[in-house]
Amino acid sequence: MERSWLDRVRAAVRYLFGRWPVLAHDAAAACVAWLGAYWFRFNLDQIPDVFLDQAFAVLPLVVFWHLVFFVVFGVHRGAWRFTSTHDLSVILKSVVVGTAVVAFSIFLATRLVAVPRSVFPLHGVFLVGLLIGSRILYRLFRDRQVSRGEGKRVLIVGAGAAGDMLLKDLGRNQEIHYDVVGFIDDDQTKKGREIQGVRVLDRCAAIPQLARLLRVELILIAVPSANAEQMRSIVDYCERAKTPFRTLPKVQDILDGTASSADLRSVELDDLLGRDPVNLDWEAMAGMINGRRVLITGGAGSIGSELCRQVARLEPEEITLFEQNEFSLYSLALELEEQFPDVRFRRLLGDVCDSQAVRFVFSQYSPQVVFHAAAYKHVPMLQAQLRETIRNNTVGTIVTARAAVESGVEKFILISTDKAVNPTSMMGVSKRLAEMVAQLNNAESTTAFITVRFGNVLGSAGSVVPLFERQIRAGGPVTVTDPMMTRYFMTISEACQLILQACAIGRGGEIFVLNMGEPVKIDYLARQIIRLSGKVPDEEIEIRYTGLRPGEKLTEELFHPDENLTPTSYEKILLAQSRSFDRTHLESRLEELRQCVEIYDHERAREIAIGLVPEYREDQNGNTAEFPNQAA
């Protein structure tokens, strides 16, 4: 214990020694303020010898006590370059307390003989002025714009707190000089006002004209609270101006309320398609996950990996990742172990269709909450490979669900898709069957089976966004199936948070449908990605329409007409009423389906699958699946 105390003392001494220039400056300021107070007391005239001698006699006492309280209040810790009202508050407190102690000490030592009482308040005022003044002058010196040459002409969109803080940070940038020529803001009450000497010029609609008139070289968007519609409008004006633009992160990403030029980034698709922040009950989610053992199948996939990150934040006892892809599992585990060192992770290679391996995992690690995210999802490819589609998406769910029931799992969450609604693809059929498996097991066990259904996830593996970006890098063309095709989109983070929220409120048997807003045209999506890449659609990058591929729909649906949707206590989550089915018939058909998959009986497997999902329609192109020769 004694050694620890000595170590702390040594560390404090080393730190103070490192700050000696600041302490020396403040000590000198105390001397000047003390003697200056005497000089002012005697009307800026010569100080009588008896008073001057006493002033010098007590000066060491004055400096000592002020240094003590400078250290106590942390005056020496303030960064002069960023001097603010907080530093003024700290200096005021230390000077007031220090002056009071100085006065009391001198009274005890000299009974104030030859020490005028008016010296003490004068000394305090002078000392505050010297300490604050020197710091402000230093900041002005560092923030100066003189003799730095002509800089890049910048227009800032957003005359709010973020724009103000960004302007300050740009002024301090030592590497590149930015010459901010004005602010833009749609709040007309701000027009004509000045922020740090920079005028608010006009609304966003004037960006193209002002950019040309003022020879703007860069537009900085400092509106972190902007929703998707507002951001699309701002970006549209910036594109018309044909001027490069950057943006600050969204408001939910700036948790500490600060904004700086280091945070500036390119406008991304999430900014244009994302929606308002989701209000979530993190306490309920933490109550479901905290201290529990969690298993995530397909844990290294797009949804599975983000689920891992979200679950890890809720402090589970351990997370078991079950995944076929070796490299993806290895890479994700390294990332998670670095970001969440207090959470235990298990990395298990395996196939959800391997019943022995799945049973071993459940019996060995006894998970309490299971997220079943393992699935194949590429519609055109799966349309021609029915056996693998059914095996992975349906049989894999059967195997995992049975193991969960046998081991007494508390909650089993199936990640489903909008393609399971009125499917035109075998991928959609396989996921609808997986939903029925969950419903069946929920009715016959104590495990709560919950299904969460949503549409496309921005940036996920196999989605159109990475494909478009790759095609743009290659110089085009960007291939779009049909100019009228629409899809529902959601960010990976939002989707996984809503999955956790649905899991927290689910009691078993529910099909939760995530409210994904309005569907987005794929053609619009492609054009926005081209623009964000700095290219012009149809001019620099060709858009080529290829027609619907096997299994694809023009529009997706999130629920069946017989699934009456009801709201939940969360705006983004809807509850779809489950459709009834004959359990005995379903069980026997699923078992027969599993056997057909084992022996590669494609035609019978297809017949059974379609029979269990009568709403299946041949895809709109009239394409049918082709199967390789049946195994002997």
Q: Is the pLDDT of residue 47 over 50?
A: yes
Q: How many DSSP H helices and E strands does the chain contain?
A: 22, 21
In the chain, the percentage of residues whose pLDDT exceeds 90 is: 23
Say which residue, 187 or 252, is predicted with more confidence. Answer: 187
The sign of the CA dihedral 511, 516, 519, 525 is: negative
511, β-bridge pairs: 451, 576
Task: Supply the DSSP string of 28-94, one letter for each residue.
Answer: HHHHHHHHHHHHHHTTTSPPPHHHHHHHHHHHHHHHHHHHHHHHHHTGGGS-GGG--HHHHHHHHHH
Q: Is the pLDDT of residue 15 over 70?
A: no
User: Residue 379 and residue 462: Cα distance in Å, rounded?
Assistant: 10
Closest CA to 230 of 250, 210, 215: 250
Answer whether the bond into residue 477 is a cis peptide, omega within 30°. yes
User: Residue 98 and residue 95: Cα distance in Å, rounded?
Assistant: 5
Q: Please state, in angstroms and as integers, the Cα–Cα distance from residue 306 to each residue in 303, 313, 497, following that order.
A: 5, 11, 9
At residue 199, the pLDDT reads 85
3-state DSSP call for residue 174? coil
Average of per-residue pLDDT values in the chain: 82
In the chain, the percentage of residues whose pLDDT exceeds 70 is: 85
Q: Is the pLDDT of residue 367 over 80?
A: yes
User: Residue 349 and residue 613: Cα distance in Å, rounded?
Assistant: 32
User: Residue 170 and residue 177: Cα distance in Å, rounded?
Assistant: 8
Structure tokens at 565: 């949707």
AA identity, residue 619: D
Going by their DSSP bridges, the two strands 369-372 and 293-297 should be labelled as parallel
- Exposed/middle/buried for residue 509 (C-beta within 10 Å: 0-12, 13-18, 19+): middle
Q: What is the mean pLDDT of residues 426-434?
A: 93
Say which residue, 283 or 139, is predicted with more confidence. Answer: 283
- What pLDDT, in 10s, does the model give residues 577-602? 777 778 889 889 999 999 999 999 98
User: Residue 423 and residue 394: Cα distance in Å, rounded?
Assistant: 15
Please, how many CA atoms are within 13 Å of residue 154, restricted to the half-sphere of its CB? Answer: 24
For residue 410, name the pLDDT band (cuts at 50, 70, 90). very high
Quote the DSSP letter at residue 447.
S
Say which residue, 629 or 7, is predicted with more confidence. Answer: 7
Q: Is the pLDDT of residue 388 over 90?
A: yes
For residue 16, name the pLDDT band (cuts at 50, 70, 90). low
| Contact call for residues 315 and 290 (beta carbons, < 8 A) | yes
413, β-bridge pairs: 371, 450
3-state DSSP call for residue 545? strand
Q: Is the pLDDT of residue 30 over 90?
A: no
User: Residue 500 and residue 307: Cα distance in Å, rounded?
Assistant: 8
Q: Is the pLDDT of residue 610 over 60?
A: yes
User: Residue 514 and residue 499: Cα distance in Å, rounded?
Assistant: 8
AA identity, residue 535: K
Element (H, E) at 464: helix 464-473
At residue 421, the pLDDT reads 87
User: Residue ranges of the domains in the chain?
Assistant: 2-142, 152-267, 282-457+490-513+557-612
At residue 149, the pLDDT reads 47
At residue 312, the pLDDT reads 92
User: Residue 371 and residue 451: Cα distance in Å, rounded?
Assistant: 10
Q: Please state, in angstroms and as integers, the Cα–Cα distance from residue 508 to each residue in 74, 392, 443, 579, following that order.
A: 56, 23, 9, 14
Q: What is the CATH number of domain 282-457+490-513+557-612?
A: 3.40.50.720
Q: Is the pLDDT of residue 625 over 50?
A: no
* 238 torsion bin: left (phi>0), alpha (psi -120 to 50), beta (else): alpha
Q: Which has the minimum average pLDDT: 129-138, 268-277, 461-470?
A: 268-277
User: Residue 630 and residue 604: Cα distance in Å, rounded?
Assistant: 11
| Burial profile 355-383: b = 16 or more Cβ within 10 angstroms, e = fewer | bebbbebbeebebbbbbbbbbbbebbbbb
Structure tokens at 378: 């590429």
- What pLDDT, in 10s, does the model give residues 317-349? 999 999 999 999 999 989 998 889 889 999 999
User: Residue 41 and residue 570: Cα distance in Å, rounded?
Assistant: 70
Q: What is the mean pLDDT of residues 21-26?
A: 81
At residue 255, the pLDDT reads 39
Q: Is the pLDDT of residue 555 over 80?
A: no
- What pLDDT, in 10s, does the model give residues 238-285? 888 888 888 876 544 443 444 555 556 666 666 666 555 556 778 888
At residue 148, the pLDDT reads 46
Q: What is the mean pLDDT of residues 202-230?
A: 85
The residues, ordered by sequence, that sit 6+ positions from 171 with a Cβ below 8 Å of its Cβ are 143, 145, 178, 196
User: Residue 574 and residue 510: Cα distance in Å, rounded?
Assistant: 10
Say which residue, 167 or 354, is predicted with more confidence. Answer: 354
Closest CA to 108 of 58, 53, 155: 58
- What pLDDT, in 10s, does the model give residues 492-545? 887 888 889 888 888 888 888 887 777 888 888 888 888 777 777 888 889 999
SS3 content of the chain, % helix, strand, coil (to 5): 50, 15, 35
CATH class of 152-267: alpha beta
Q: Hey, do 152-267 and 282-457+490-513+557-612 end up sharing a CATH topology, with the first three levels equal?
A: yes
Q: What is the mean pLDDT of residues 293-315?
A: 91
At residue 432, the pLDDT reads 93
At residue 372, the pLDDT reads 96
User: Residue 233 and residue 236: Cα distance in Å, rounded?
Assistant: 5
| Contact call for residues 260 and 162 (beta carbons, < 8 A) | no
Going by their DSSP bridges, the two strands 369-372 and 448-454 should be labelled as unpaired
User: Residue 422 and residue 488: Cα distance in Å, rounded?
Assistant: 16
